[in-house]
Amino acid sequence: MSENKTGKYLKYAIGEIVLVVIGILIALQVNDWNEVRKVKVIEQTLLKDIKIELSANLKALKEVILEHEKSLSAAQELMVLSRKPRELINLPETTVERLVGTMNKNWTYNPQKGILNSIISSGQLNYISNKELRYLIASIDDITEDTIESTAEIERDKAALLNPSFKNGFLIENGQMLGYSVKGVLQVPEFWMVTKGLFVDNRIDGIEEENNLKDLIQKMLNLIDQEIEK
């Protein structure tokens, strides 16, 4: 081959190599884009599923907090009356029944955890790109368990602590039970100790923790909305 033709062939070969390299790079880039798109689709699906579960849990938690606030309010009203003996004596039976009954109610927060547990156990948590959200998803179960300890303590102890006081409400004469008056519990010192310790002090701590959990779930929902809108 002449020198001119050799030069042309070299240029042609180099051009072909460059085109092949460019084609490979484009193919790799397209493949990367497809993989990123697939991961994004999976992430968006997970985020929407998590949002549904957390939204339901937030609604349930708000209802629990509302009922616990009613219980606390009734207990605090009773404690105020305990310092007013005359008013306490003249308090209508129906009022005592309402206050003691409301105070004694204890709601348990049982969040849905199926979707979150499935995502964590399957390793899909890695699809969540937001590091803060990923951490909160991984830790929300432990935080929830810590939060409901106060409620669990009230549920565990209230019957054993209050039942002896409730027995004082039985109206008995000559060995015959004539009826029951809930006002009888107001004469038992232990009743006031339980009211103050379990239904005021403990309940205040529990409601504070529940509100902190409520704010945390709302924060997670805000982060999810930000990621969905990207």
pLDDT exceeds cutoff 50 at 1: no
Give the residue-averaged pLDDT of 98-109: 93
pLDDT of residue 115: 94
* HSE value, Cβ hemisphere, 13 Å, CA-based, for 120: 15
Amino acid (1-letter code) at residue 188: V
> pLDDT tens digit string along 161-206?
888 888 887 666 666 666 778 888 888 889 999 999 999 999 999 9
| Cβ contacts of 153 within 8 Å, gap of 6 or more | 198, 202
pLDDT the model gives residue 173: 64
Q: Are 67 and 203 in contact (CB under 8 A)?
A: no
What per-residue confidence (pLDDT) applies to 34? 65
pLDDT given for residue 159 in this prediction: 84
Tokens of 57: 């849990």
CA-nearest of 161, 169, 171 to 192 is 161
Distances in Å between the alpha carbon of 155 and those of 2, 27, 76, 200? 99, 63, 19, 14
Find where tokens 């409620």 sit: 151
Report the pLDDT value the prediction gives residue 101, as an integer from 0 to 100. Answer: 93
Cβ neighbours of residue 216 under 8 Å, at least 6 residues apart?
136, 140, 143
What total of structural domains would you count in the chain?
1
77 phi-psi bin (left φ>0, alpha ψ -120 to 50, beta other): alpha
pLDDT tens per residue, range 127-171 = 999 999 999 999 999 999 999 998 889 988 888 888 888 888 766
In sequence order, the β-bridge partners of residue 180 are 170
Give the pLDDT score at 3: 54
- Domain of 70, in residue numbers: 3-228
* Arithmetic mean of pLDDT, 81-90: 88
* Helical (H) or strand (E) element with 170: strand 170-173
Helix, strand or coil, per DSSP, at residue 179 = strand
The mean pLDDT of the chain is 87
d(CA 143, CA 146): 5
